Structure formats: C-alpha cells, structure tokens
C-alpha cells in the first residue's frame, strides 16, 4: 500500500507542475501567474477539489505522443469563494500553450454540466492559444461542445469568464456566450483574427493590445464588462460580482445585513440633480446615495457611458440599476447603450434580481450613423427586455423623459410595477422647445422676432406640460415624490413586490430583435 500511495503522490506532484519549471518561469516572465497560483488567490483555503487531474490527451500524432501532460492543460474542479460553492475550469498556458484539444474540452464541458446539475456559478479562467493545432477537427469539435454547454447553462447559472492571457479565434466565443467577462490590462487579449491575418487581409498594422486588449474591449467593443490592473484585482472584482448573484435561476440573491437604515432620507439628491433640464450631472452620485452603504458595482463602466448599469443593494437585497447618464451625450440612448442596458436587464430578469430604473433621457440619439447602424433594431431590444422582464421593476423619473426613450426606460406601459417621478420630471413626446417649433411652425415663420417668440411660448409650454402632474393625472406614474424619499420608497416597493408573480403567454421563446 505504501508503495502505491508513494506512486500516487509522485504522479500528483507531476500533474501539479503543469508544463514544468521552465514553462512556469516563462509564464512569470510574461507577468502572469500560474494556474495553481490563480486558484490559490481565488478559492477559499483548503476548499478546492480537483476533477480529472490525470486526464491525458488521446491524440498521438504530430508530436502529441511526447506531450503527455497530466490534466491536459486545464484544471477543473469545485471549491468555495467567500463560503459559496462554485465550479471552475482554469486553462494552464504552460501546457501546450493552454490549447484546447479533445480531452481538455471534455473536462471543461463536464465542469459546466456539473455546475448546471448542482445549480451553482461556473467560472472559466482563460489563458490559451485556442484550438490545439495537432488535434485538428477533434479540437474544433471540442470547442463546439464547450459552446453548447455555455448556451445550455445560460440563464440557469451565472457564468463568468476571466481572461488572463490569449483568447483567440473561435475560443473567444465561449466567454462571449457567458454572462460577464473580466479582462486584465496588458496581459490579456481577445480577437477572432490576430494582427498577422488582419495585416494580410486589410493591410492594417495593429498590435495585439490595439486589436484586442482589455482597454479596447472595455471601451469600444463592449466584450469586456470589467477591466483589472492585474490578476489579483481581477479576482477581487470577480468575488464582488459573485456576492450580488444567486447561485442559480431558481434561487434568490443572498441578503446581506446592513447598518444603513431603510428609513434614511437623502436630502443631498435635491442638490445633485440641477432643476435646469439642460444641465449635466453624474447620475452615479444619485445611484450611490440611494443604495445601501453607497456601494455600487458598475458593469461596463467605460462602454456606452451614456447609460449606467450595475449592482447594488437596497435593504440588504440585491438590485440591478439602470440609469441614463446626463454627463455623456446628454443621457441619450444610442446603439451601444441599447445593447448594454438590454443585456443587463435580461440578466437581472433571468436571475431574480429586481430592476431599479432612473430616468433622465432626452430621447434616442439622432444622426445618420445611428439610423444606418440600426438604432431602430437595437433600441427595440431595450423595449423588449423591459417588457419581457417579470422581476420587480421600479422606476424613478428624475427629470426629462421624452418620446420612445421614456417608454423604453422601464415605463408603466412596459410593465413597471411602480413608477415615481420627482417634481423636476418632464414627461412628454419631446422637449418643450422642439414641441413649440413644430406646433407653431407657421407663427414662427410670420413673426418678426422668431427666437423671442419661441422662448416665450416654450416657457408657457414648459409651465403647462413639462411637469410630472399630467402623467400623474393619467395614472402613468404612481406618485410624485420628494427626491429625499427615493431610497425609502424604493425599499418599501421592493418589500411589497417580494411575492410578485407574473404569468406570461406560453411560447418556446420570443424573437428579440438581435
């Protein structure tokens, strides 16, 4: 027995070393941690249980007979993060560049499927050269199976990808199918075709970082929801994100004790938001003031900053916040903002997280680019997502709420449970001046001083219609409230909606305008 145990220990030690000390040195020299170091940082001590540690590649062609690394370049298993169970797969770049072959894929698929059976989040740590070239079609097939598992798990368990090195080619589609992507600055990159292929096909000269670095995906493409300065920070973000989420779609998010009183008034709100509808302010200040302990985890912070989305808590319960941001593009909704907010709303709905919407929106962004880029198709996603969501939906109209954008931002007509307006709210088809210029086109043409005329009539229009009371009379808002009571009312509304049940027509699935 002793001998057998000795042999097992030897093999385990070998498996533990991945591609060996030289490759580990190279990994460190690139500013990256090894897969074991990553797991140590991520998982609560002594809780990680590995699965498939002795798996070897089945392939033997093209030198694969000499690449007999236990684990086949991916460590899979389960463990606890802040006391809560998760399943993890973590690619090991020191083993054949973390490339994905048949058995590597099988291990990932089994991990996702186990997480799905148990009903807990799955986390993927990506650091890979993509499809293992030597295994050819078997590795492509492996990728297909990983994608299928990601899709099957979508909406059932939270799936989070952390990109810690290369993630190229078709490999990018696994993180893209998951709920959140975290990237690390300078050491991670994602692209479907790399700089060399880009050069050959379009003639463009571009570096790895410029083409698919963290910064690019966090600001331009929207592929990355979070960026971190280093791997340690990536795991801090991941843990924080997990703290807001339920383990699966049949469970409620965890309730966290808070010292922040539910009866806290927030008089500062009356100063943060200027009465003048044209003046800008940072809506994140409003969000933070309302949430428990002023804590807000912003998602997609630098992508489409004209809309703000993220997680917080009210009375200890997780909520998702969606808010127009008057500090960018005056808070108008463009193509990217529509995509960003709709996907977030759908995530919240899938995972039983109530939606708090703060509205201050002049409309959908005008322009040829927007129209030709499909603002109609993209904007429709937001309408669709809000209507489809059956979780509690509570909306506060802070200031402007004009046109289709007012409808899209969690209006009563799209099923909001409670809509409140501040006295500064203006709910109308369009802004007062635009309305006057259309309604009084002839008079403006005839008058000697058109600008004076427009100004005077706009004032009159604003006094008559640009307020929340018309909307209150028609019952499209539930009440006009003093801003200082926003937090108190939001918490009461959440309590009232705790048992919310909503029937939806039977269908296979809807056809969201993608």
Pairwise CA distance, residues 209 & 189, whole Å? 7
Supply the residues annotated as catalytic.
169-170, 404-405
> Smallest gap, in angstroms, from Cβ of residue 38 to ligand HXC?
17
Task: Tell me the three state secondary structure of residue 103.
Answer: helix
DSSP 213: B
Nearer to ligand HXC, 23 or 317 (CB): 23
Contacts (CB under 6 A) with ligand HXC, residues 354-383: none
Contacts (CB under 6 A) with ligand HXC, residues 94-123: 96-97, 99
Q: Which stretch binds ligand HXC (CB under 6 A): 112-120, 128-136, 348-356, 392-400?
A: 128-136
* 190 interacts with ligand HXC by CB under 6 A: no
Q: Which of 166, 213, 310, 432 binds ligand HXC (CB under 6 A)?
A: 166
* 169 interacts with ligand HXC by CB under 6 A: yes
Nearer to ligand HXC, 155 or 170 (CB): 170
Nearest Cα to Cα of residue 485 among 253, 270, 277 = 270
Q: Which of 171, 290, 382, 383 binds ligand HXC (CB under 6 A)?
A: 171
Beta bridge partners of residue 85, listed in sequence order: 80
The size of the interface with ligand HXC (CB under 6 A), counted in residues, is 16
30 contacts 97 by C-beta, under 8 angstroms: no
Phi, psi of 24 (to 5 degrees): -65, -40
* 168 interacts with ligand HXC by CB under 6 A: yes
CA angle at residue 274 from 271 to 276, to 5 degrees? 155
What is the crossing angle of helices 231-244 and 35-42, to 10°? Answer: 40
* 133 interacts with ligand HXC by CB under 6 A: yes
Pairing of strands 317-324, 393-402: unpaired
Compose the 403-442 pattern: x for residues touching ligand HXC by CB under 6 A, - for all others: ----------------------------------------
* 213 interacts with ligand HXC by CB under 6 A: no
* 195 interacts with ligand HXC by CB under 6 A: no
* 130 interacts with ligand HXC by CB under 6 A: yes
> Smallest gap, in angstroms, from Cβ of residue 29 to ligand HXC?
10
Residue positions counted in the chain: 514
416 contacts 375 by C-beta, under 8 angstroms: no
> Smallest gap, in angstroms, from Cβ of residue 414 to ligand HXC?
37
Pairwise CA distance, residues 301 & 297, whole Å? 9
> Smallest gap, in angstroms, from Cβ of residue 25 to ligand HXC?
12
Nearer to ligand HXC, 183 or 466 (CB): 183
Nearest Cα to Cα of residue 362 among 391, 386, 392, 337 = 337
For residue 123, give Cα distances in angstroms to 116, 117, 238. 12, 15, 9
Task: Tell me the three state secondary structure of residue 71.
Answer: coil
* 468 interacts with ligand HXC by CB under 6 A: no
Residues that bind ligand HXC (CB under 6 A): 96-97, 99, 129-134, 140, 143, 166, 168-171
């Amino acid at each position: 027995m002793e001998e057998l145990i000795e042999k097992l220990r030897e093999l385990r030690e070998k498996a533990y070393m991945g591609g060996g000390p030289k490759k580990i040195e190279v990994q460190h020299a690139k500013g990256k941690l090894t897969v074991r170091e990553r797991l140590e940082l991520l998982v609560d001590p002594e809780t990680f249980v590995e699965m498939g540690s002795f798996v070897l590649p089945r392939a033997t062609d093209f030198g694969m007979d000499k690449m007999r690394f236990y684990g086949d370049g991916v460590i899979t298993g389960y463990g606890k993060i802040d006391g809560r169970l998760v399943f993890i797969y973590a690619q090991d770049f020191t083993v054949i560049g973390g490339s994905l072959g048949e058995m590597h894929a099988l291990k990932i698929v089994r991990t996702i499927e186990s997480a799905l059976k148990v009903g807990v989040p799955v986390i993927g740590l990506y650091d890979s050269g993509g499809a293992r070239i030597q295994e050819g079609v078997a590795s492509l097939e492996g990728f297909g199976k990983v994608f299928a598992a990601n899709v099957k798990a979508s909406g059932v368990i939270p799936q989070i990808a952390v990109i810690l090195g290369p993630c190229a080619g078709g490999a990018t589609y696994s993180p893209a199918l998951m709920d959140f992507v975290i990237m690390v600055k300078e050491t991670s990159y994602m692209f479907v075709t790399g700089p060399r292929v880009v050069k050959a096909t379009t003639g463009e000269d571009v570096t790895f970082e410029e083409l698919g670095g963290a910064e690019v995906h966090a600001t331009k493409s929207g592929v990355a929801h979070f960026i971190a300065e280093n791997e340690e920070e990536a795991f801090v973000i991941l843990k924080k994100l997990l703290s807001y989420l339920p383990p699966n779609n049949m469970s409620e998010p965890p309730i966290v004790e808070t010292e922040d009183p539910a009866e806290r008034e927030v008089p500062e709100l009356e100063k943060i938001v200027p009465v003048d509808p044209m003046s800008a302010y940072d809506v994140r200040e409003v969000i933070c003031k309302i949430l428990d302990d002023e804590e807000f985890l912003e998602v997609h912070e630098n992508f489409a900053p004209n809309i703000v989305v993220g997680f917080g808590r009210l009375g200890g319960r997780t909520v998702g916040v969606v808010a127009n941001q008057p500090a960018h593009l005056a808070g108008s909704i463009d193509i990217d903002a529509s995509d960003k907010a709709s996907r977030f709303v759908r995530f919240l709905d899938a995972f039983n997280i109530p939606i708090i919407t703060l509205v201050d929106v002049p409309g959908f962004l005008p322009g040829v680019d927007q129209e030709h880029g499909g603002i109609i198709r993209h904007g429709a996603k937001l309408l669709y997502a809000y209507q489809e969501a059956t979780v509690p939906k509570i909306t506060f109209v802070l200031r402007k709420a004009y046109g289709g954008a007012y409808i899209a931002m969690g209006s009563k007509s799209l099923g909001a449970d409670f809509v409140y307006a501040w006295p500064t709210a203006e709910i109308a088809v369009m802004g007062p001046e635009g309305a006057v210029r259309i309604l009084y086109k002839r008079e403006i043409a005839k008058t000697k001083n058109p600008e004076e005329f427009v100004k005077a009539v706009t004032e009159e229009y604003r006094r008559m219609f640009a307020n929340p009371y018309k909307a209150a009379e028609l019952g499209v808002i539930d009440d006009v409230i003093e801003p200082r009571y926003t937090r108190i009312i939001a918490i009461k509304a959440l309590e009232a909606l705790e048992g919310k049940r909503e029937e939806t027509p039977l269908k296979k699935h809807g056809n969201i305008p993608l």
